[in-house]
């Protein structure tokens, strides 16, 4: 058994009583063994210092609040977030400009207004033009006025035109269900000159992006 093993067995208390006595007698006379033992004890002291250092770090860790992690400013994440925000805002503005009830009303009302201006004056037509002007100016109860005009009017052209404006009046009041209902009636009528426009407007109203902004 070399010194290393002997010393380890001695320190670990693994020697028999006789061997222990023998080792201690040897120790008194052997300077090298004394020096080796001293080195072993030093090694243990050093390991103890390491243990104390690690325990200190562990205890300090226990003092740290568990839920207050300091987050580092992550430039990349913030850049992505900002870009996303810009994209979403732009998309929102675009959708609102093109698919909101107000935008669809303006888009469709202006086109027909030109046609109205070109019509020949006659009593029911003049009345209809006045109702259209009222609708443009935001007069209240345009829906009721157009509905009444349709009910009382016997001329098919005026009735078709009035139905189109009734749909727009519902749209202006944000009553989408009724708007769609009137548009579907227009589309279903054969030879209705507003049928194409009604289809386009109905498609716009059914556009999935409208769900995002409404």
Partner 1 sequence: MIETEIISAIRAGGRIRDQALEQIYTNAKVKNRAKAILVKYNCFDTDFNDIYQDAIILLDKNVRNGQFESRGSLEAYLMSTCKLLWYNELRRKKKFVDEEILKNLENTVTNEVDQTQYDEDLLKLLDLTLKKLDERCRKVLEMWKLSYSMSEIMETLGITSLGMTRKLKFTCLNKLTDLIKCSGIKPIKKRHGQF
Q: Is 22 in the site for partner 1 (CB under 8 A)?
A: no
Token couple for 44: 């243990």
- Measured from the CB atom, is 42 or 111 closer to partner 1? 42
Among 54, 83, 122, 214, binds partner 1 (CB under 8 A): 54
Among 26, 48, 157, 181, binds partner 1 (CB under 8 A): 48
Task: Give the other-Cβ count within 10 Å of 29's Cβ.
Answer: 8
Angle at alpha carbon of residue 198, lines to 197 and 202, rounded to 5° = 120
Q: Does 14 bind partner 1 (CB under 8 A)?
A: no
How many beta carbons lie within 10 A of that of residue 179, not counting itself? 25
Residue the block writes with tokens 């009444």: 148
Examine residue 21 and tell whether it contacts partner 1 (CB under 8 A): no
Distance CA 103, CA 93 (A): 12
Site for partner 1 contains 40 (CB under 8 A): yes
Dist. CA 167–CA 156, nearest whole Å: 17
By C-beta, is 38 or 126 nearer to partner 1?
38
**Segment interacting with partner 1, rule: CB under 8 A, options 43-51, 102-110, 116-124, 194-202:** 43-51
User: Is 36 one of the binding residues for partner 1 (CB under 8 A)?
Assistant: yes
Member of 1, 29, 31, 62 binding partner 1 (CB under 8 A): 62
Q: Considering the rule CB under 8 A, would residue 47 count as an interface residue with partner 1?
A: yes
Cβ atoms of 122 and 100 within 8 Å: the answer is no
CA dihedral sign, ordered 112, 113, 114, 117: positive
Q: Which is nearer to partner 1, 59 or 140 (CB)?
A: 59
In the chain, alpha helices (H): 3-11, 17-29, 31-63, 75-99, 101-117, 123-136, 142-152, 156-172, 176-188, 195-205, 208-213
Q: Is 41 in the site for partner 1 (CB under 8 A)?
A: yes
- How many residues of this chain bind partner 1 (CB under 8 A)? 26
> Is 70 one of the binding residues for partner 1 (CB under 8 A)?
no
Q: Which C-beta is closer to partner 1: that of 18 or that of 63?
A: 63
Indicate the residue among 41 and 111 with the shorter CB distance to partner 1: 41
Chain residues binding partner 1 by CB under 8 A are 4, 8, 36, 38-52, 54-56, 58-60, 62-63
């Amino acid at each position: 058994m070399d010194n290393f093993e002997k010393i380890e067995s001695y320190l670990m208390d693994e020697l028999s009583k006789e061997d222990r006595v023998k080792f201690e007698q040897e120790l008194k006379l052997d300077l090298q063994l004394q020096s080796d033992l001293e080195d072993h004890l030093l090694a243990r002291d050093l390991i103890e210092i390491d243990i104390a250092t690690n325990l200190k770090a562990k205890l300090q860790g226990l003092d740290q609040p568990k839920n207050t992690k300091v987050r580092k400013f992550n430039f990349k994440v913030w850049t992505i977030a900002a870009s996303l925000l810009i994209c979403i805002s732009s998309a929102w503005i675009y959708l609102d400009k093109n698919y909101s009830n107000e935008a669809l009303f303006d888009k469709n009302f202006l086109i027909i207004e030109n046609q109205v201006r070109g019509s020949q004056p006659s009593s029911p037509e003049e009345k209809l033009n006045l109702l259209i002007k009222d609708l443009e100016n935001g007069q209240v109860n345009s829906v009721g006025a157009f509905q009444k005009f349709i009910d009382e009017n016997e001329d098919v052209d005026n009735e078709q035109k009035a139905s189109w404006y009734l749909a727009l009046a519902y749209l202006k009041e944000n009553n989408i269900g009724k708007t769609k209902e009137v548009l579907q009636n227009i589309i279903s009528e054969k030879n209705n000159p507003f049928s194409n426009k009604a289809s386009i407007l109905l498609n716009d109203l059914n556009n999935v992006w409208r769900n995002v902004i409404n």
